[in-house]
Structure formats: C-alpha cells, structure tokens
Structure 1
Amino acid sequence: MKIETNDLIIRNYELKDENDLCEYMLQRVNAEFEGYPDFTCEKAKEEIEYRMQSDEFYAIELKNDRKVIGNIYLGKRDFNTRELGYVLNENYQHRGYGSDASKAMIEYMFNQGVHRIYAECAPQNTPSWKLMEKIGMKREAYFRKNVSFHKDKNGNPIYWDTYVYAILNPDEEI
C-alpha cells in the first residue's frame, strides 16, 4: 500500500526504517500520553518486522528526504470500524503532517469500504483532539477513567479520561 500527499508518502514499513522508528519511539518512552516505557533501540528490528507484516501500521515518510517521521495506526474493530492512532517524531510536529497523513488514510479506508473510523485521546492532549476536529471527526463521548498507560509508585494503574471522536464514511450517510 502506498498513498502520496503533497509532502508525504504513507506506506508499509520496510527494514530500512529501523533507525527512524527507533528515533521517534524513543521520544515516546516517557511520554505523558500513551508512553512506551519498554521500548529500546534493540527492540526496533523486532518492531519493524512486526509492522512489516501488519495491515494496521503504516509509515509516514517525508517525500523530500525519505525520512520516516512517524506512523499511522488503523486497528481493525468490530462492525467494519477502524481505530485511528498516530505518532509523529517530535521534531516534525505542528507542521500539518499528522492531519495530512490522517486525512489521506481516512479517505483510503473509506474507499476500501470501511464504515466508521474513531480515535481516542486524553482531554488534556489538546493538539491531538484539535487534529481530530481539523480532519472532520466529531466528538461523540467522554469516558471517565477508562484507559491506563502508566503506573504509580506502587505499581497501580493510573487511569485517564478520554474523548472519543469519530467520522463516518460519507458515501453511507443519508
């Protein structure tokens, strides 16, 4: 799979993406929202191999220098629905790449017959929910204390509230 926008190529992962994946995933180790505390560069090759086989993870590559700056996730869910997620290298955030990649993938998925795409984020993660609104997603729910990505000093989960945003395939709307 390969999708091109003005600035980006969204495609399946390749082995050559290992260093770029390591760079942006290391930024997520201690991230406030959805951290990856166990990620190391030693695990990057295994993660690349997993993503190469996946039809849910896609690399976001800059056209001008062929650098992978993040990923788009479209997890399969019941009822012909996908869950959207995105991670961008901190050095490339706030330039429109996240919304550009998300819009392109949503259009691609709708053209493949997907009915609905949703995403969740913490209410405090303003850049994430603003991106969702920018690409046409509508806030549908506010879930209280429904996810946990971190533990407290005693090893107990720290729960977060989440907003739920979604968009429906426009070809199916009445």
Structure 2
Amino acid sequence: MRIETKELIIRNFELKDEKDLCEYMLQRVNEKFEAYPDFTEEKVREEIEYRAKSDEFYAIELKEEHKVIGNIYLGKRDFNSRELGYVLNRNYQHKGYGSAASKAIIDYMFSEGLHRIYAECCPDNIPSWKLMESIGMVREAHLRKNVSFHQDENGKPIYWDTYIYAVLNPEDELE
C-alpha cells in the first residue's frame, strides 16, 4: 500500500526503516500509555523484519525528510472491520501528522470497501481521543478497567478504562 498526502507517505515498512523505527520505539519503553518495556536496540532487527512482512503495520514517512516518523496499525478484525492505532516519534507530535495519516488511511480503506474502523484509548490520553474526534470518529463506549499495560510493585496488573471510538464507511451509513 502507498498513500500520499501533502506532507506524508503512508506505506509498507521496509528493512531500511530500521534506524527510524528504533528511534521512536525506544521513546516508548517507559511510556504511560501502551509502553513497550521489552523493546531494545537489539530487538529492532526482529521488529523491522516482522513489520516489513505485515499487512497491519504501515510506516508514516515525512516526505521532506525521507524519515519514518511513526506508524499506523490497522489490525484485522471480524465483520469487515479494522482496529486503528498510531504511534509517532515524540519530535513530530502535535504537528497534525497523526491526524493526516489516520484520515488518509481511513479514506483509503473505505474506498477499498472496508465497513468499520475503531480505536481504543485511555480516557487520560486526551491527545489520542482528541485526534480520533478530529478525524470524525465517534465515541461509542467507555469500558471500565478492561486493559492493563503496567503492573504495580507486587506484579499485580494495573487496569485502565478505555474509550472506544469508531467510524463507519459513509457508503454503509446510507443503508
């Protein structure tokens, strides 16, 4: 897949993206929301090989710099739907790139006949759910204590609430 916006290229990962992937993934090791605590520089080769073969992870490349600044995740789900996720290099956040990439891939997937795209985030992750709302997604649910990305000092999972947002293919809304 290859989608272009004014400033971005959304495309499949390539092995040459290893350095850029490592840069933004290492930023996520201690993140509050959806951390990757086991990610290391030594694991980047395995991760880039996985993503280069995947049809669920897509690189977000900044055209001007020819740099991968993040990724879009489109996990395959039942009933002709996908789960949207996004990660951006900290140095490129709050510039509209996440919204532009998400909107472009949603439009593309709907043009290919996909029925529904949904996403989840912690209610405390205000930038994430504001992005979802800015691209036309609608909050459909508030699930209580349904995910855990961290443990307390005794190894017990710390559960968080999540909001679920979704958008339907406009063609399906007419039915």
Shared fold (TM-score, shorter chain, > 0.5): yes
Alignment of 1:155-170 (within 5 A): 155-170=155-170
Alignment of 1:76-95 (within 5 A): 76-95=76-95
Mapped partners of 1:173, 1:126: distance in 2: 28
Matched, 1:135 2:135: yes
Matched, 1:148 2:148: yes
Q: What is the letter of the counterpart of residue 127 of structure 1?
A: P
Aligned residue number for residue 51 of structure 2: 51
- Please report how far the alpha carbon of residue 83 of structure 1 lies from its aligned counterpart in structure 2 after TM superposition: 0.2
When normalised by structure 2's length, the TM-score is 0.98
Aligned residue number for residue 97 of structure 1: 97
Aligned residue number for residue 15 of structure 2: 15
- Please report how far the alpha carbon of residue 41 of structure 1 lies from its aligned counterpart in structure 2 after TM superposition: 1.1
Mapped partners of 1:68, 1:50: distance in 2: 16
- Please report how far the alpha carbon of residue 171 of structure 1 lies from its aligned counterpart in structure 2 after TM superposition: 1.1
Q: What is the letter of the counterpart of residue 43 of structure 2?
A: K
Mapped partners of 1:148, 1:52: distance in 2: 28
- SS at 1:34's partner residue? coil
Q: What is the letter of the counterpart of residue 84 of structure 1?
A: L
Alignment of 1:17-36 (within 5 A): 17-36=17-36
Q: Deviations over 1:109-137 (max 9, x none)?
A: 11111100000000000000000000000
Aligned residue number for residue 61 of structure 2: 61
Mapped partners of 1:105, 1:154: distance in 2: 41
- Please report how far the alpha carbon of residue 10 of structure 1 lies from its aligned counterpart in structure 2 after TM superposition: 0.4
Q: What is the aligned length?
A: 174
- Please report how far the alpha carbon of residue 144 of structure 1 lies from its aligned counterpart in structure 2 after TM superposition: 0.2
Mapped partners of 1:15, 1:120: distance in 2: 29
- Identity rate, percent: 77
- SS at 2:29's partner residue? coil
Q: What is the letter of the counterpart of residue 150 of structure 2?
A: H
Q: Deviations over 1:81-120 (max 9, x none)?
A: 1000000000000000000000000011111111000000
Mapped partners of 1:28, 1:65: distance in 2: 22
Mapped partners of 1:171, 1:53: distance in 2: 31
Mapped partners of 1:114, 1:48: distance in 2: 26
Give ranges in structure 2 of 5+ residues lacking alignment. none
Give ranges in structure 1 of 5+ residues lacking alignment. none
When normalised by structure 1's length, the TM-score is 0.99
Q: What is the letter of the counterpart of residue 130 of structure 1?
A: K
Task: Kindly report structure 1 stretches of 4+ aligned residues shifted beyond 6 Å.
Answer: none
Aligned residue number for residue 40 of structure 1: 40
